[in-house]
């Protein structure tokens, strides 16, 4: 069996070949262009990786999606990808089986299988990238909800007003995401007539990266804005810990890059708001897979649907019972 992962992003894509245990053997990367051009590059990359007669494909992509039917449904970061039947097209061209999953759920699988959540049964992964998506592993299995929308914690409102995320002012995504931090910084710059250290020239061009760079240079305003984001992060994580009681919460790319400004303000709020017993058994950590998480996520989808996760669980049980079977 051949495992092929496709990570489809708004700026770049990766096509990966892996063993049926998920070990990556080869990766082909390229930039995302038009829908037609990018799809053609995907097919060429798959062919170059020689998927063999019965491949299992995992496709990780930002939503909205219809995972059940394998349709990509016009994601905002993929213009022109309107009802693209990605799984059917892969199966038509190469045979085998193909499975589509949103990038948050796929990231949760990847961190659970290969990253910071190895060995756990209850995990929450927060994408913490341009947006704030979430994937939930509950009692040793991915929890997707009634129609695949579980874990949309980014939509939860944390304040009556604030930066917009998920089309909602004051949402978790607004306060704690790359896009939300950019909008927060832009709003502050407008208040000050553009006279801020993180203004690259035009207020509308300010991003979370400019904010972090200004904080790194010691700018007090940038540090204060990140501190407020850290406090809001603590509020949201307390909700997750109280409701889901996970063993680990894994935070994605923005947190990894801005952790030193966020964590000192997140932690006191978390300790004040979360149930102490639940907080005591929960680790809050950055992604262990770093910038490679997209590739691992796509592979994890294929391995998951091919039954590799279940085999791991059965193998662990068999190993534990072996001494008893031998009379030990």
Q: Region 280-309: what's the mean pLDDT?
A: 91
Contact between residue 127 and residue 289 where contact means Cβ atoms under 8 Å apart? no
Residue 60's pLDDT band (cuts 50, 70, 90):
very high
Query: Which domains does the chain possess?
Result: 3-102+306-314 (3.30.420.40), 116-288 (3.30.420.40)
Residue 23's pLDDT band (cuts 50, 70, 90):
confident
Question: Which residues lie below 8 Å from residue 156, measured CB to CB, with a gap of 6+?
Answer: 171, 172, 236, 239
> Is residue 314 predicted with pLDDT exceeding 60?
no
Res 327: pLDDT: 42
Antiparallel, parallel or unpaired: β 97-102 and 56-61: parallel
**pLDDT per residue over 80-97, tens digit each?**
999 999 999 999 999 999
Res 131: pLDDT: 87
> Is residue 313 predicted with pLDDT exceeding 90?
no
CA-only gyration radius of the chain, Å:
21
Q: For residue 91, report the phi and psi dihedrals to the nearest 5 degrees.
A: -65, -35
Q: Cα separation of 216 and 226, whole Å? A: 11
> Is residue 128 predicted with pLDDT exceeding 60?
yes
Contact between residue 211 and residue 185 where contact means Cβ atoms under 8 Å apart? yes
Q: Region 132-140: what's the mean pLDDT?
A: 93
> Is residue 322 predicted with pLDDT exceeding 50?
no
pTM of the predicted protein model = 0.86
Q: Region 198-218: what's the mean pLDDT?
A: 96
Q: Cα separation of 304 and 20, whole Å? A: 10
The pLDDT mean for the chain works out to 90
> Is residue 150 predicted with pLDDT exceeding 90?
no
Res 285: pLDDT: 97
> Is residue 167 predicted with pLDDT exceeding 90?
no
> Is residue 211 predicted with pLDDT exceeding 70?
yes
Q: Region 34-44: what's the mean pLDDT?
A: 96
Contact between residue 251 and residue 284 where contact means Cβ atoms under 8 Å apart? yes
Residue 274's pLDDT band (cuts 50, 70, 90):
very high
Residue 144's pLDDT band (cuts 50, 70, 90):
confident
Res 146: pLDDT: 80
Q: Cα separation of 83 and 46, whole Å? A: 21
Instruction: Tell which wins on pLDDT, 20 or 203.
Output: 203
Res 62: pLDDT: 85
> Is residue 323 predicted with pLDDT exceeding 80?
no
Nearest to 125 by CA among 116, 134, 113: 134
> Is residue 320 predicted with pLDDT exceeding 60?
no
Res 310: pLDDT: 55
> Is residue 171 predicted with pLDDT exceeding 90?
yes
Least reliable range by pLDDT among 59-73, 81-95, 254-268, 276-290: 59-73
Contact between residue 35 and residue 79 where contact means Cβ atoms under 8 Å apart? yes
Helix (H) or strand (E) holding 272: helix 253-273
**pLDDT per residue over 287-299, tens digit each?**
999 888 999 999 9
Res 241: pLDDT: 98
Antiparallel, parallel or unpaired: β 12-18 and 3-8: antiparallel
Buried b (16+ CB within 10 A) or exposed e, 219-238: bebbeebbeebbbbbbbbbb
> Is residue 148 predicted with pLDDT exceeding 80?
no
Please state, for a pLDDT cut of 90, what percent of the chain lies above it.
Answer: 77
Alpha carbon distance, N-terminus to C-terminus of the chain:
36
Q: Region 117-137: what's the mean pLDDT?
A: 93
């Amino acid at each position: 069996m051949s495992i092929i992962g496709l990570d489809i992003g708004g700026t770049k894509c990766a096509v990966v070949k892996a063993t049926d245990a998920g070990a990556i053997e080869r990766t082909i990367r390229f930039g995302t262009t038009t829908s037609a051009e990018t799809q053609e590059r995907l097919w060429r990359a798959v062919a170059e990786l020689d998927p063999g007669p019965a491949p299992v494909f995992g496709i990780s992509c930002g939503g909205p999606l219809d995972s059940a039917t394998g349709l990509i449904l016009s994601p905002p970061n993929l213009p022109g990808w309107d009802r693209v039947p990605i799984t059917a097209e892969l199966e038509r061209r190469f045979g085998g089986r193909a499975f589509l999953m949103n990038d948050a759920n796929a990231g949760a699988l990847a961190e659970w299988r290969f990253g910071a959540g190895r060995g756990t049964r209850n995990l929450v992964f927060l994408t913490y990238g341009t947006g704030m998506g979430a994937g939930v592993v509950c009692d040793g299995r991915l929890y997707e909800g009634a129609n695949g929308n579980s874990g949309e914690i980014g939509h939860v409102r944390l304040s009556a007003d604030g930066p917009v995320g998920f089309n909602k002012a004051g949402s978790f995504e607004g306060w704690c995401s790359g896009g939300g931090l950019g909008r927060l910084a832009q709003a502050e710059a407008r208040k000050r007539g553009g006279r801020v250290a993180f203004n690259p020239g035009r207020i509308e061009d300010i991003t979370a990266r400019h904010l972090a760079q200004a904080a790194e240079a010691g700018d007090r305003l940038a540090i204060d804005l990140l501190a407020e984001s850290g406090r809001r992060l603590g509020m949201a994580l307390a909700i997750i810990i109280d409701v889901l009681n996970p063993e680990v919460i894994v935070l994605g790319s923005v947190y990894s890059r801005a952790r030193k400004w966020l964590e000192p303000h997140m932690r006191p709020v978390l300790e004040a708001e979360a149930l102490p017993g639940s907080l005591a058994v929960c680790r809050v950590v950055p992604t262990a897979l770093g910038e490679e998480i997209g590739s691992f996520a796509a592979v994890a989808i294929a391995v998951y649907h091919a039954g590799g996760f279940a085999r791991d669980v059965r193998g662990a049980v068999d190993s534990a019972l072996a001494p008893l079977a031998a009379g030990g």
